[in-house]
A and B are shown apart, each in its own frame.
Chain A
Amino acid sequence: MWEFLQNLFLDYTLRTVTLGSAVLGIVSGALGSFAVLRKQSLLGDAISHAALPGIALAFLITGSKTSLILITGAAIAGWLATLFVISITRTTRIKTDSALGLILSVFFGSGLVLLTFIQRQPYATKAGLEKFLFGQAAALLQSDLITMSVLSTIIIFLVFVFWKEFKIFSFDPDFTASLGFSVHVLDILITSLLVIAIVIGLQTVGVVLMSAMVVAPAAAARQWSDRLGVMVILSSLFGAMAGVGGAIISSLTPRLPTGPTIVLGISAIVFFSILLAPNRGLVWRWVAEQKNRHQLQLEAVLSDLYILARQHQDLEHGHPIEVLRTMSIGHGGVDRTLKELKSMGWVDRKSDGNWILTPRGWEQARQMAERGAITE
């Protein structure tokens, strides 16, 4: 463990990989939150796939593999794809999901063609572009890290500056427009930031799986918080955790691709969040439901006794458990419920084994009847 920590700070590759993945997780988590809330999760998928031909073309034109140049190519292609999707939905009868699928496959397909073409060329530097498919964290250089960090800082800063505008725009765009804010500017701005957040992660996670880094951290974070600010921070945190974890594991294990490892990490976080988060988590809801059902059972038996007591006009008249069982068909667990009511002091068992309401139980049932919870 100590050795590992030492490596983390001293080992060049490990440090670069860890920091790079953290940065990509933070940015995609933050921007992903807005994409998910604006119901644009699929746009992330289209943008990341569409980036591939941009990367290939950027290399073909410049012959350079500098990350800034490739990222620029990727961003331009991602942007063009978004633009196409928007204009297709505006000018034709094709719906958004079809337009997204169309653009995604056309761009991704031409990206693959270009990649194959590049590999057939006799360049000395041709190797390495295919890492953009599934990502390769170990190939990150210090210079890549600096590029990523600078871009990320700008993105996070802009999110902070436009916080109020992004929030209202994501919640209610029509109202935002009626207040005089330019929703076109906001749309372009927030989409551009999303494009940059995505292309930053392509080298590490790859174009195929990058959309998971947009959607998954935000979906997990939403489970834990009802505040936008907390959600965005948590989403960044989850993204960073998955990024760092996945990158380290894959760089320590030979032949393990980075992208899928990171995505498996974030999937695990999503899984636990959906299961365990308070209020929204499945387990939490199940417990709440059980509690509710338990309460209903108590009230059902209490109200049965109340009805019986009223029919007999006598509080002291005991009722055998069989009667209660017959009355609560469908409720079940009458014995257990009676025992619990007794420990609460609401019912009592007479010497002949029959059950009666105590005065306190009577009072309780009467209040229920007033609420309309008992129908005779």
Chain B
Amino acid sequence: MENQNRTLAIEVEDLTVAYREKPVLWDVDLHVPAGILQAIIGPNGAGKTTLIKAILGLIKPSAGRVLIYGKPYNQQRHLVAYVPQRGSVDWDFPTNVLDVVLMGRYGRLGWFRRPGKEDYQKAEEALVKVGMADFMRRQISQLSGGQQQRVFLARALVQEALVYFMDEPFQGVDATTEKAIISLLKELRAAGKTVLVVHHDLQTVAEYFDWALLLNVRRIASGAVSEVFTDQNLRLAYGGKVGFLTYHGHQKATASSERL
């Protein structure tokens, strides 16, 4: 564990992604030490989701490299778990909650092997953890947005990874789910895991996360939240549009970093 704290969980260098001729991510560097909660923040179209997808190899970058615990991502895939945006799938798919969570085990199982007793057990434990144990046999089309999100989190938990990538888990969820996600994040951090979260709400960044990456196609700033959340950085990322947010975000950031 101690060793992990000194090493970098995620190392991204010179990552550049372009759709046709338009750059979506430009020369992004990101170094994330193990055991922290890191937010990825930026305005719409800043390339937050693209960054995660490029790190995970779902989008082919034009340039750059990604290391997970010091080795190329391809060799370290088993250390990584992924929570996509819940809007990215069709929730009318004919399957139930337990089945979706079991999919998190498929990576370990590999080709052809079917999930066994242990996998079912892990899936059920994960559902208990996110407060969805009563919904195990529920058809997924009957879930609320927050419940869908918790199912996706459970699916990532059974991957038993060291590094978690979450794309907008707080987007449009109810208070119960928000609390569940926060306590889960803390639990993951306590267990020495590293979590990268695409986040939208500037107000809560300081409260939920240790580190933040401010992104707008280029990397604006990255580091401890209180260092990153300066008026100047926020203006660089969002333009002049966030006067109000800047002030309050900054106050909050300073306040909570003092509390820590």
Contacts and interface: CB of A to CB of B under 8 A. Distances in A.
B77 A167 contact: no
A37 B82 CA distance: 23
Contacts of B96: 226-227
A181 B111 contact: yes
B260 interface: no
A238 to B, nearest CB: 15
Contact of A179 (B90, B100, B107): B107
A181 to B, nearest CB: 7
A180 B93 contact: no
A174 B139 contact: no
Interface residues of A, number: 26
Interface of B: 53, 56-58, 77-78, 80, 82, 84, 88-90, 93-96, 100, 103, 106-107, 109, 111-115, 139, 141, 155, 159
B29 to A, nearest CB: 22
Contacts of A179: 77, 106-107, 159
B77 A180 contact: yes
A272 interface: no
A72 interface: no
B56 A228 contact: no
Contacts of B57: 177-178
A9 interface: no
> What does DSSP make chain A's interface, helix, strand, loop or mixed?
helix
A176 to B, nearest CB: 8
A37 B77 contact: no
B89 A168 contact: no
B143 to A, nearest CB: 13
Contacts of A174: 53, 58, 82, 84, 88
Interface string A218-254: 0000100111101100000000000000000000000
B95 A172 contact: no
A37 B107 contact: no
A171 B103 CA distance: 10
A222 B94 CA distance: 8
Given A164-B106, A171-B103, A172-B88, A178 B95 contact: no
A165 interface: yes
Given A172-B89, A178-B56, A180-B77, A225 B94 contact: yes
Nearest to A221: B94
Contacts of A161: 112
Contact of A175 (B94, B95, B103, B113): B103
